[in-house]
Structure 1
Amino acid sequence: MTPEEQTAIEAAAWRTLVGHLQKRKDVQNIDLMNMAGFCRNCMSRWMAHAATAQGVELSDPQAREIVYGMPYDEWKSKYQAEATPEQLAKYKQIGPDDTTD
């Protein structure tokens, strides 16, 4: 596999993951954080950081819109549920993974 092929494959896998999460609006970010140590917001930050590293300007709100498939505030108002005390307790216990930024 050439470096170009690997990059194209990785990009396709990223788009598939983003598309999957856009369809699974029932999956809350806190659940993703508690289970995997990252969420949609982490993904949008990764995207913005990668753009900056390539010399491309991409703001956090723009990156979030790409990941969420709509403006973040719209997604929050339509799909984000209030975190339960149990979810918050688990999040406090494990905390965010340092590799998410």
Structure 2
Amino acid sequence: MDDQTKIELEAAAFRALREHLMEKRTDVQNIDMMNLAGFCRNCLSRWYQEAANARGIEMTKEEGREAFYGMTMETWKSKYQTEASTEKQAEFKVAFEQNVGSES
């Protein structure tokens, strides 16, 4: 397989993942994804932003999130995010540290 075809297939897979998470499974909470898989929608938006920045495209964290979510974080939260239990929040602290690093 040539490099261009590989890039196009990877991009198609990313778009399918984004569509699945943003349109078909809005019921799945980011905290649950992070606690189970070690990444969430915010991670995907951060990776998108980091890829843009690595290519000389200036993009803030908020711009990366809006590009991935297709809306502002405030809108996403109000439409789809629910309150996390104390137990889930404690699990998240561990998952975040293991997979992302310090929150500072």
Instruction: Give the TM bin, normalised by the shorter chain.
Output: 0.7 to 0.9
| Structure 2 counterparts to residues 39-50 of structure 1, below 5 A | 39-50=40-51
Provide the C-alpha distance between the structure 2 equivalents of 1:58 and 1:7, rounded to a whole number of angstroms. Answer: 22
> Partner residue of 1:84?
85
> Partner residue of 1:66?
67
Cα distance, 1:2 vs. partner?
A: 0.8
> Partner residue of 2:26?
25
* Aligned Cα root-mean-square deviation (Å): 1.6
1:11 aligned partner, one-letter code: A
2:7 aligned partner, one-letter code: T
> Aligned residues, how many?
99
Structure 2 residue ranges without an equivalent (≥5): none
Alpha carbons of 1:44 and 1:95: their partners in 2 closer, same or farther (altered >3 Å)? closer
Identical residues among aligned pairs (%): 49
Provide the C-alpha distance between the structure 1 equivalents of 2:60 and 2:31, rounded to a whole number of angstroms. Answer: 23
Which fold has the larger relative contact order, with Cα–Cα distance below 8 Å and residues 6 or more apart in sequence?
A: 1
Structure 1 residue ranges without an equivalent (≥5): none
Provide the C-alpha distance between the structure 2 equivalents of 1:2 and 1:75, rounded to a whole number of angstroms. Answer: 38
CA contact (8 A) 2:34 2:95 kept: no
